Amino acid sequence: MSSLEEDYARFRDLVGPLPRMATPHTWAEVETALGLEFPVDYKMWAEEYPSLYLFKFLHLDNPLDFPVSVDLEIDVLAEVREVAEEFGREITGDDGSIVDHRPALPFYPAPGGLLFFGQSDNGDYCTFLTAPDPREWEVVVTDGGSWWHSGRGFAAFLTGLLTGERPCPEFPEDLADHPSARAAYTFMDAEGQGHVLWGDTRRIP
């Protein structure tokens, strides 16, 4: 099994470098605010890349570019949590079929809870299933009803999407046919309003 550092190196080789603006926040601030230690591949990505828009479909928010708080993290998955706690989870297999039905998972800030990190244009949520050891965090994708467990960490999950080696059944089947990356340079103005400056879309070979 590859290490998280190796997984990130492969992702970086695929996407290539993108200009990065200075970040207003540090990992020490983020981890202190949320009471979590994040996986090294995710931290390396956030330090080297801006927020990204992959495949013209998947938004990845860089946590170093925004103020973070426990309340904000709870709010972003509030609707998903309500649905899961009322109806449970339909577990999706790699072929897209429903293979099981299980109770809801815990949500952050509960120990081992789900933590948001990205969202698709179709309304799918990309989350971390957190664990005491950040090297064991797994990516879980859900639309609130069906749930797919990737069995991978952050960088390996993205690399699997970009290469088509490990597609997500919640996403369009032809996603890997047109891999691309676009930088989203986010910043806050003096009044605390968020803004985005978009970079050019880059086709990923």
Supply the pLDDT for residue 20: 86
pLDDT of residue 67: 86
Label the pairing between strands 89-92 and 146-149.
parallel
> What is the β-pairing status of strands 58-60 and 89-92?
unpaired
Is the bond leading into 169 cis (omega within 30 degrees of zero)?
Answer: no
59 Cβ neighbours under 8 A, 6+ residues apart: 51, 52, 53, 118, 119, 120, 121, 184
Rg of the chain over Cα atoms, rounded to whole angstroms, equals 16
pLDDT value at residue 205: 73
The residues of the chain scoring below 70 in pLDDT are: 1
Cα–Cα distance, 193 to 205 (Å, whole number): 36
Q: Are 150 and 140 in contact (CB under 8 A)?
A: yes
- Predicted TM-score of the model (pTM): 0.93
Paired tokens of 109:
């800030």
Q: Output b/e per residue, 152-175; b: 16+ Cβ within 10 A.
A: bbbbbbbbbbbeeebbbebbeeeb
pLDDT at 173: 92
Which residue, 170, 174, 169, is CA-closest to 95? 169
Predicted pLDDT at 191: 78
